Amino acid sequence: MIFTRRVSKVKEMMNKLTTKTPFLSEEEKENQNNHNKWKKKASLCFIILITVLILTLGGTSSSGWMFRTRIHLHAGVILESPELTRGVQAGNAVESLEAVVAADDARCSEIGVSVLRMGGHAVDASVATALCLGVVNPMASGVGGGGFMVVRSADTLQTQAFDFRETAPLAASENMYENNIDDKYKGALSMGVPGEIAGLHKAWSTYGRLPWKTLFDPAIRLAKEGFMVAPYLAGKISSNEAKIRNDSGLQHVFAPNGELLKTGDICYNRKLGLTLEVLANEGPKAFYDGVIGEKLVKDVQDAGGILTMEDLKNYDVDVTDALAVDTMGYTILGMPAPSSGTLGLALVSNILESYESSNAAKGSLGLHRFIEALKHMYAVRMDLGDPDFVDISKTVADMLSPAFAKNIQEKILDNTTFPSIYYMPRWSQLQDHGTSHFCIVDDDRNAVSMTSTVNYAFGGGVLSRSTGIVLNNEMGDFSVPTEISADSLPPSPSNFIRPNKRPLSSMTPIIILKDEQLAGVIGGSGGVYIIPAVAQVFFNHFILGMDPSTAVQSPRVYHKLIPNVVYYENWTVIDGDHIELSDDRKQFLVERGHKLEPKAGGAICQFIVQTLKKPNENRKMSHDHRQVLKGMLTAVSDPRKDGQPAAC
Ligand SMILES: *[C@@H]1O[C@H](CO)[C@@H](O)[C@H](O)[C@H]1NC(C)=O
Ligand SMILES: *[C@@H]1O[C@H](CO)[C@@H](O)[C@H](O)[C@H]1NC(C)=O
Ligand SMILES: *[C@@H]1O[C@H](CO)[C@@H](O)[C@H](O)[C@H]1NC(C)=O
């Protein structure tokens, strides 16, 4: 059932997306010859390295947003080529039988696809896409941040979880912010040890087929030669003016002549380009035990931070099996703690499943039950923390237990909601921020779901002048004993700071299987709103039967338990669409005592679905579970941000 209200015609026009495909350099051709594995595919697909997008818009609608400019990779250079993205494009979705990328920026999706066209593994494409995002959306993620990556290998049928979340420096301590709580969020003291480069490299070492160096080229060019500021970035620059003006590094990049960059302006971060060049040539060692790390540490210490070379040398990516949750007839594969995402989604889904009716999640009543399940989940999840430091085994077992879910379900009434205290919250809620998410499925059906972040927009508000790197403020995701929170609950001891510990997170990158075949990839950005958003996209498509595009676009609701308010979307998004929960739904919730508030914001989700042939044919074919089936891939980038997916 669709409960969306759409008022804009702008989107269709926006989707006349033209992709220009330039060529490999001589050096890259040489690399290519050295790599027979991808040579064959390279001849099949047209090869691109740089991607130039032109968003052509035939006209304007009467109201709303009017971005009618060209986005191109190089300032002043537009490379023409007859080759277009081959997938069929409709709205913010593309379809392909081969391979797809759904990132929250069109250029980065195209760059990911260019890597896949060269025969790259989904993980190769992830490296190039992530680096691109760190350049063109530097407010959300980058090599100064960290994240989580879930990789499903079509070869081994194993799914691995790469945890490269930022880590508390060795000099950090439980009470380090007792004199100034602001330092937890602002400035260099709020920085955790960055993990992104280590994480990308670890995954690439396991799965990568293309040379590490090649994967950096597009991002290096974007940073050095300039990229066009897209509307979403322009909005973040404008809304963070004070932060940018307060730091000479940020000002240098985002207000180069004293004026803040606007949509359509060209942004340069040449120092970041040079940093990426060194990392391309020398690998992560340059960051964790070399010249880039030394420069970064100096800038951080000069700005009052406590990061040392020892911290960088000490940094380790945690690689484990993905957490697997069987629920509602699907297997969800995601991150274990310190991400609370997969566990949170598992609990909500198990609660709805325990109604033992396929209609439990349907309609207005389904929405009410979903909100109630969310409220219970938020109360439970704050007992989680970094499992290397605290024993969270009981909470983890509860969140995965159908019996525990059933118990909660029995406390949910269909005719009413309850005050926050009813859900027995013990600890102040984590309010994380920011982030970027992309999904990639390649020709072999290897799949990647990756969420990365610098926490708040532009992290702690410091850009290292010598490296061009935006410092994260991930220490803000720890709980500290002296913090008085808006929800007036005590901070969660499970999430207190320890040297080398990782803070709790809401990031929820997941891969979904049906009968052991790849069925979908989902994830989102938007901190505390991620779990409800990913859950709604999952239910919308897999349980309620919405098509992939509608599943993402459909108006969402959010709840944080305290305050006891349902936030419903009322949001005119960047492409002019108006997304708003229907009046029927609102009325139904109000009748049950929910307090409603409109929200022009929330989480951004990217989504890939694989549609296999008719179920009976699949059953015949998939007798041998080791046979990887290949169906139609549909990739969707959330219209709430200005991203577009791309297809091979
Ligand atoms: C500006 O930066 C200083 C540290 O350099 C910090 O104390 C202050 O809170 C910052 N102000 C804003 C508005 O970010
Ligand atoms: C909800 O239904 C229960 C019975 O299932 C009843 O006891 C209760 O009074 C009802 N509450 C409201 C607010 O209607
Ligand atoms: C919803 O948002 C629109 C602007 O996009 C605004 O005019 C309207 O008043 C909002 N409705 C509510 C109920 O807040």
Tell me the average pLDDT across 472-493.
92
The token duo for 596 is: 């409603």
- DSSP E strand boundaries for 427-483: 436-441, 447-453
How does pLDDT run across 592-601, given as a tens digit for each residue? Answer: 999 999 999 9
Relative orientation angle of helices 341-353 and 363-381, to the nearest 10 degrees: 140
Q: Which of 351, 349, 426 is nearest to 383 (CA)?
A: 426
Residues near 13 by Cβ (< 8 Å), separated by ≥ 6?
57, 58, 59
Q: Please provide residue 345's backbone torsions phi and psi, each rounded to the nearest 5 degrees.
A: -65, -40
Rounded to whole angstroms, the Cα distance separating 471 from 454 reads 7
Q: Phi and psi for 447 in degrees, rounded to 5?
A: -130, 145
Given its phi and psi angles, is residue 357 left (phi above 0), alpha (psi -120 to 50 degrees) or beta? beta
Residue 59 has pLDDT above 90, yes or no: no
pLDDT score, position 4 = 31
246 lines ligand 1 (CB under 6 A): yes
Which tokens in the block code for residue 368?
Answer: 């009410």
DSSP tally for the chain: helices H, then strands E: 22, 23
Binding region for L-glutamate: 165, 453-455, 477, 505-506, 527
242 CB less than 6 Å from ligand 1? Answer: yes
Residue 91: the pLDDT is 63
201, 247 in Cβ contact below 8 A? no
Which ligand does the CA of 189 lie closest to?
1
- Those residues with Cβ within 8 angstroms of residue 579's Cβ, 6 or more apart along the chain or in another chain: 4, 5, 6, 553, 555, 569, 570, 571, 572, 573, 639, 640
Q: How far, in Å, from the CA of 548 to the mean position of ligand 3?
A: 26
Strands (E), 131-213: 146-152, 159-164
Expressed in angstroms and rounded, the spacing between residue 594 Cα and the centre of ligand 2 is 15
User: How far is 214 from 634, CA to CA, in rounded Å?
Assistant: 27
Q: Which helix (H) or strand (E) holds 606?
A: strand 604-611
Contact 286, 293 (CB under 8 A): yes
Catalytic residue among 331, 435, 451, 634: 435
3-state DSSP assignment of residue 1: coil
Ligand 3 cavity residues, CB under 6 Å: 570, 572, 598
How many angstroms separate the alpha carbon of residue 422 from the centre of ligand 2? Answer: 15
pLDDT of residue 267: 98
Q: Which two tokens stand for residue 308?
A: 């040392």
- Check pocket membership of 415 for ligand 2, CB cut-off 6 A: yes
**CB burial string 68-90: b at 16+ within 10 A, e below:** ebebbbbeeeeeeeeeebbbebe
Does 19 score more than 60 pLDDT?
no
Say what angle helices 341-353 and 530-538 make with each other, to 10 degrees.
50
Question: Which one-letter amino acid corresponds to residue 234?
Answer: A
Q: How far apart are CA 134 and CA 194, in angstroms?
A: 13
> Highest mean pLDDT range out of 17-21, 204-208, 609-613?
204-208
Residues with Cβ within 8 Å of residue 273, at least 6 apart in sequence: 220, 221, 222, 223, 224, 225, 468
Looking from the CA of residue 571, the nearest atom of ligand 3 is: 5
Closest by CA position to 141, among listed 609, 486, 523: 523
Tens digits of residue pLDDT in 362-398: 999 999 999 999 999 999 999 999 999 999 999 999 9
- Token readout for 94 is 């593309």
Q: Tell me the per-residue pLDDT of 445-467, one tens digit each, with 9 for 90 and over.
A: 999 999 999 999 999 999 999 99
Binding residues: 165, 453-455, 477, 505-506, 527
pLDDT at 558 over 80: yes
**Residues written for the chain:** 648
Q: Is the pLDDT of residue 293 over 50?
A: yes
Question: Looking at ligand 2, which atom is closest to the CA of residue 593?
Answer: 13
Phi first, then psi, for residue 58 (nearest 5°) are -70, -20
Q: Specify the amino acid at residue 95.
A: E
In order of 66, 528, 630, the CA distances from 194 in angstroms are 37, 21, 37
For ligand 2, the distance from its centroid to the CA atom of residue 415, given in whole angstroms, is: 6
Ligand nearest to the CA of 302: 1
Contact status, residue 326 vs residue 210, Cβ threshold 8 Å: no
Residues 230-281: tens digit of each pLDDT: 999 999 999 999 999 999 999 999 999 999 999 999 999 999 999 999 999 9
Q: How far is 43 from 8, CA to CA, in rounded Å? A: 41
pTM for this prediction: 0.88
Count of alpha carbons within 13 angstroms of residue 203, beta-carbon side: 34
Task: Write down the pLDDT at residue 622.
Answer: 52
At 110, is the pLDDT very low, low, confident or very high (cuts 50, 70, 90)? very high
Burial bucket for residue 415 (CB in 10 Å: 0-12, 13-18, 19+)? exposed
Mean pLDDT along residues 210-218: 98
Side-chain half-sphere exposure of 256, counting CA atoms within 13 A:
10
Closest by CA position to 468, among listed 594, 284, 645, 295: 295
Percent of the chain with pLDDT over 70: 84
pLDDT in tens, 575-588: 788 999 999 999 99
For residue 365, the one-letter residue type is L
Q: Is the CB of 186 under 6 A from ligand 1?
A: yes
Give distance in angstroms: CA of 445 to centre of ligand 3: 42
Query: Which tens digit of pLDDT belongs to each residue from 604-644?
Result: 999 999 999 865 555 555 556 678 999 999 999 999 998 99
Distance 412 CA to ligand 2 centre (A): 11
* Closest-CA residue to 432 (of 49, 146, 230): 146
Residue 132 CB neighbours (<10 A): 29
Give the range among 67-81, 279-293, 378-392, 419-433 with minimum mean pLDDT: 67-81
Among 79-83, 482-486, 511-515, the range scoring the smallest mean pLDDT is: 79-83
Q: Whose CA is nearest to atom 10 of ligand 1?
A: 246
Residue 191 pLDDT greater than 70, yes or no: yes
> Which ligand 3 atom is the nearest neighbour of the CA of 570?
1
Ligand with an atom nearest the CA of residue 303: 1
Task: Describe the crossing of helices 291-302 and 270-282 by its angle, rounded to 10 degrees.
Answer: 140
Closest residue to atom 5 of ligand 2, CA basis? 413
- % of the chain residues with pLDDT over 90: 80
Is residue 435 annotated as part of the catalytic site, yes or no? yes
Residue 65: its pLDDT value, please?
A: 23
Helices 530-538 & 363-381 angle (0-180, nearest 10): 140
Q: Which of 95-109, 311-325, 571-585 shows the lowest per-residue confidence on average (mean pLDDT)?
A: 571-585
What are the start-end ranges of the E strands in 99-256?
100-102, 146-152, 159-164, 227-228
Residues 6+ apart with CB under 8 A from 136: 105, 107, 108, 222, 227, 230, 233
pLDDT digits (tens, 9 = 90+) for 136-176: 999 999 999 999 999 999 999 999 999 999 999 999 999 99
Residue 416 CB less than 6 A away from ligand 2:
yes
The sign of the torsion formed by the CA atoms of 168, 173, 174, 177 equals: negative
> To which H or E segment does residue 298 belong?
helix 291-302
Is residue 413 within 6 Å of ligand 2 at its C-beta? yes
pLDDT in tens, 408-422: 999 999 999 999 999
Residue 123 banded pLDDT, cuts 50, 70, 90: very high
With cut-offs at 50, 70 and 90, classify the pLDDT of residue 74.
very low
Of 637, 147, 136, the closest CA to residue 434 belongs to 147
Q: What is the DSSP string of 360-377?
A: TT-HHHHHHHHHHHHHHH
Helical residues (DSSP H) of 385-447, grouped into ranges: 393-400, 402-409
